Every structure is written in C-alpha cells, then in structure tokens.
Amino acid sequence: MCIIIAKDKIGRLPTEKELKNSFEYNSDGAGFMYVDSGKVVIDKGYMTYDSFLKHYKSLLNKYNNFKNKSLVIHCRIGTSGRNTKGNTHPYPITDNQKALKTRHLSREPIGIAHNGIIRGYGTATGLNDTQEYISKYLYPLYFHYRDFYKNKDMLYQIEQATNSKFAILDKTDKIYYVGEFIDDNGLNFSNNTYKMESCYSYRLSYTDWYDELYNKQQLAQSEEQDYWEEESEYMLPLEKEWYIDLWGNGNIKQVGNKDYWYNYETLELFELRDDDFELIATNPIIYDENYEEVF
C-alpha cells in the first residue's frame, strides 16, 4: 500500500497519531523530502517508528515547524525489492541506481514519492518497481522535458499508466500531485491508513466485529448497528468461482474453498481463519469466473 503525507507551504503538520498510524500500517521504512537552500533534500531509511519520530521532531526544530515550507513524508510497505533502507522513499528522478538507493541526498532539483504498485516493473533489474519506473520512464521524460510534472495532461497519463499516486517536489518548494489525494484540513494523504480505526472493520456476527488490528471485540447491541453501517463497507467476500493472482506475477489460482475477503479501500486480501483475519497479500489481482479483472 504505502502512504504519502504531503504538507504544502500553507498546510498543517500531521499529528503524532496520524504519523504513528501511517508508520505502523506501512512499516517497511520511512523517509522525508523537503527543500533546503534551493535544493530538494531526500532523507530516508528510518526503519523503526522511534527513529522515524525522533528524526521528524529534529526536522521540526531545525526548520521552524515547516512554517511556510513544504514537507513530503512517505511510509512504505514493500511489494517489490527487499525491505532495505535504500529501498525506502522518496527518490530523485534519475537513472543512477546508486542515487536511487542512497539514503541522504541534499542537492537534487526534484524528488518523488510513490503510493501503489507499478505492474511489470521491479522484477528482474535489482530495483523495486518505483525505482525501475523512475529510471526507465520518468527520468527520460524529465531529461527531454524538464517541466513535465507541471503539465496536467502528462500527470494524468502517468496516473492512468501506473494506477498509482505520486507526490513530486521541485526546488521551488512546490508539490505536484499525481492521482487523487485526501485533503484532511489542509494536509494531503494518498490513502486513509493514517486513520486506521476508520477503515478496517468487519462484522462476523451480530455483536462481534474486528478492530483496526483485526482483534475480535464486542459491542453492545445498541451501538452495533451504527458501527456496522459506518465501518464495514470496505470488506467484500470473494466468490469461490473467482481467481486470484496474489503477487501480480501471472500465477493464477482459483479461490475454491478458501474464505477470502478483499478490502477494496486498502487493496488487501485476507483469509478468515478461526474467526481471525490473516493478511494474505497486498494489491492482488482478482478475476471473475470469466477471467475478467474484478479488482
């Protein structure tokens, strides 16, 4: 999944709860992107929440709480490439593999963070999908047309080609967006995992439901109906006749007797086992009985 948190110059900062939710749900490393002395700084590879939060607070102190200053934060879930510090986001727009994996860069004209999976990339080059897409597609585009990210038609084409979201920060301290972000009181999020409790619930019985960590809880009947109507709308069961490609690599199998549930808000597949949801895959491809893509 991953999440991008993007503060424009006049936007608000994230709360610690929003940061904690974002990191804990996207826990394979985090990074920051901002402008210093007219250059984009890429500062990443924070693999624990404590180190992430500590560095975030040091940046707030150094840059006066980013008053009138942009900030992009990324928390990663690894879907291709190993979960290393160098594979965390953001990235420079370059074809230099070493630079794409470098944790600290301070003199870049432009940087980018990604939320999504780019099919067909990150399988055989030693790069993850985002790094390979930057190297093979975005960098040549940037090389020939430096202002491509200011062109709305080009950004729309990138969104359609990748089914992804991006935040691009240039040296003028302006953020450009690919895809639809959530504007939450002046702060932009690429998805709503920053408020985990609002999207991961499913009622198993009349009074049982699962909280954001998939632990079964109890609700009084007077509370249950409102909670069920508000919170469980994202989980759908898969039909036994459908097929799944768990990793997007062409290995397709039928659902059969598995009790699979798909969260179409977070793009995650779960199996219900002994009244517990077990995460099976992120961003799987799901086909119906006619091999037409459902999700």
Taking residues 86-108, report their average pLDDT. 95
- Choosing from 195, 218, 248, the residue where a domain stops is 195
| 260 and 186 both lie in a single domain | no
**In the predicted model, is pLDDT for residue 219 greater than 50?**
no
**In the predicted model, is pLDDT for residue 294 greater than 80?**
no
| 119 and 27 both lie in a single domain | yes
Cα separation, 86 vs 66, in Å, equals 25
What's the pLDDT score for residue 202? 40
| 294 and 151 both lie in a single domain | no
Whether residue 52 lies inside any domain: the answer is yes
- By C-alpha distance, which of 263, 204, 185 is closest to 8? 185
**In the predicted model, is pLDDT for residue 275 greater than 90?**
no
- The string of pLDDT tens digits covering residues 225-260 is 343 333 344 677 888 889 998 877 778 889 998 888
C-alpha separations of 188 from 8, 74, 191, 222 in Å: 8, 12, 9, 35
- Evaluated on CA atoms 235, 1, 132, 161, the torsion sign reads positive
Which of the 8 DSSP states describes residue 239?
A: P
For residues 66-92, one letter each, b for 16 or more C-beta atoms within 10 angstroms of the residue's C-beta and e for the rest, the string is beebbbbbbbbbbbbbeeeebbbbbbb
Q: How many domains is the chain partitioned into structurally?
A: 2
Whether residue 207 lies inside any domain: the answer is no
| 35 and 175 both lie in a single domain | yes
Q: Tell me which residue range forms the domain holding 40.
A: 3-195
**Tokens standing for residue 190:** 């690429």
| 251 and 163 both lie in a single domain | no
| 244 and 116 both lie in a single domain | no
Whether residue 96 lies inside any domain: the answer is yes
**In the predicted model, is pLDDT for residue 291 greater than 70?**
yes
| 191 and 243 both lie in a single domain | no
Cα separation, 286 vs 295, in Å, equals 5
Which of the 8 DSSP states describes residue 244?
A: E
- By C-alpha distance, which of 151, 153, 177, 178 is closest to 164? 178
Cα separation, 71 vs 4, in Å, equals 10
| 134 and 36 both lie in a single domain | yes
Whether residue 214 lies inside any domain: the answer is no
| 53 and 136 both lie in a single domain | yes
Q: Within 13 Å of residue 21, how many CA atoms lie on the same side as its CB?
A: 20
Cα separation, 44 vs 31, in Å, equals 4
pLDDT interval class at 7 (50, 70, 90): very high
Whether residue 83 lies inside any domain: the answer is yes
| 33 and 178 both lie in a single domain | yes
- Choosing from 141, 169, 195, the residue where a domain stops is 195
**In the predicted model, is pLDDT for residue 181 greater than 60?**
yes
Average pLDDT, the chain: 85
| 148 and 275 both lie in a single domain | no
Whether residue 244 lies inside any domain: the answer is yes
| 165 and 70 both lie in a single domain | yes
Whether residue 228 lies inside any domain: the answer is no
Taking residues 70-89, report their average pLDDT. 90
| CATH number of domain containing 8 | 3.60.20.10
What's the pLDDT score for residue 234? 63
- The string of pLDDT tens digits covering residues 124-169 is 677 899 999 999 999 999 999 999 999 999 999 999 999 999 999 9
